[in-house]
Structure 1
């Protein structure tokens, strides 16, 4: 009985760790995150930092906000 309970607890714990690892995302300081749920825009942007999504349902697209300078010939 105790062995089954420990095995179940270990399985649930492992599944939880895998879920969090799949859901965790980091948006860098010069980026913004746009979340698409099943291909449709899900409200607002994600600011820089740690964010979570629903794996398999959400997709986080990172948009680079850096300014790109290009030389202009005179």
Structure 2
């Protein structure tokens, strides 16, 4: 029976802290865009769905919080 000798791989070095910071720094614009285009409309739609709007009152719209009554 033959034995196979495995060679140990050299230990990987960690990235310098400045490179890690740059990674976070470059992620911020993408997170802001995601927040502006996805998260804000999601919560605004939830807010609108929990209110009753009277659009016939002219320029000033009257909003009344009605909770889950729109879903019943």
TM > 0.5 fold call: no
Q: TM-score, normalised by structure 1?
A: 0.34
Between structure 1 and structure 2, the one with the greater Rg is 2
Greater RCO, 1 or 2 (C-alpha within 8 Å, sep 6+): 1
Q: Which has the higher strand share?
A: 1
Q: Which has the higher helix share?
A: 2
